Every structure is written in C-alpha cells, then in structure tokens.
Amino acid sequence: MTQLEFSQKLLSEIGASRDTIIEFFAVFSRFEYSLKCAGYIEKDKSYVAADWDRFAEELNSSFKMKLNRDTELKSAVDYLIKNPPKKQINDNGTLSWSKADSWNEKKPILEWLLLMIRRIRNNLFHGGKFSVGPVQDLARDQQLLECSLRILEKCLRLNAAPALNVKGYFESKLG
C-alpha cells in the first residue's frame, strides 16, 4: 500500500468527506493564528496559546443577536447543542469517552460553542477517532465539522471589533 493509499484509507475511517476534513483543519488553524495575531493570547503561560474564551466573551452579545436572525447559524448551533462532541479520557489506563458536555444557559453560548469546536478539532487531530476501534457515531462527524465551519465563518462576519480584528488577519495575504 502506498503512502497516498494509506492516507486515503485513514481519511475514509472518519465519517466525513476528505474535503470537509481538510477545510476544517485549514480554517481552524487560520482562525487560531488570527486570534493570536489580533492579541487574543492567554496570559500567564510560558507558551503562546490563543485565548478563545476572551474572544467569545467579547463577541458573545453580537453573536447572540446574529443567532436570533440567522437560520443557518441557528441550525448549526442547535445541532451542536443536541449532539455535543464527547471528550476522550483515560479511564484507569483504558481509552474511553466522557459523557458529552451539555450547554448550561449560565455559560455564554459562544464560549461553549468554541470549546466544543476545539474539542472536535482535538478529537480529529489527536487521533481520538482511531484509538479504540471504530467510533460508533461516524455519521455525525460530517455534520459536526460542517456546523463548526459555519459557526467560525459567522463569527468572522460579525460587525463587531473583535470579529473585524480577527477577520483582518484571517484574510490577510490570501488575495
């Protein structure tokens, strides 16, 4: 089996199209890069990490207003609320999955959504989809990725300073 064939087989084990997986990784990594360039950097760390929570906090009210008017965004948010990604855990030396974190209305919706999107990224990037045999919910992987992409894109389109700053870096040098 060639490297390309092996890669194609690995991608086929994830319940999402190859193009969607690649698009998600490209958009997610560019978004995180843009957050850091726009000054959304976690403090008190010896390494550079994007401060997704501060971005969410500053953008949450604009996001909620958009959510009330945008059916495409509402559909993506509703899907993640009803089908939140699980978190891979170490259960006494055995890889397992924790119960999915439900959204609690006391927590800002955008902060919770961006946490779930990071979890989706972690599950894919860190091999959670391959570690303990086939994942039973393969059919929802495509939907989770598409909803995540929709939410990130809608965040960039908000007419609020945090989104505009991040959008500037996101789109810079892209033509």
pLDDT tens profile 102-159: 888 888 999 999 999 999 998 887 665 554 444 555 668 889 999 999 999 999 999 8
* CB-based contact 163:156 (threshold 8 Å): yes
Residue 100 CB neighbour total at 10 angstroms:
14
3-state class (DSSP) for residue 90: strand
3-state class (DSSP) for residue 76: helix
Using pLDDT thresholds of 50, 70 and 90, give the confidence band for residue 32.
Answer: very high
What is the C-alpha separation between 123 and 87, in angstroms, rounded?
7
Rounded to the nearest 5°, which phi and psi values hold at 173? 60, 25
DSSP 33: H
pLDDT digits (tens, 9 = 90+) for 8-24: 777 777 777 889 999 99
**Average pLDDT for residues 24-39, to the nearest whole number?**
96
Q: Which two tokens stand for residue 165?
A: 């700053």
| Percentage above 90 pLDDT, the chain | 57
| Percentage above 70 pLDDT, the chain | 90
What is the C-alpha separation between 66 and 171, in angstroms, rounded?
21
DSSP 100: P
- Mention every residue, 6+ apart, whose C-beta is less than 8 A from residue 160: 58, 59, 62
What is the C-alpha separation between 23 and 146, in angstroms, rounded?
9
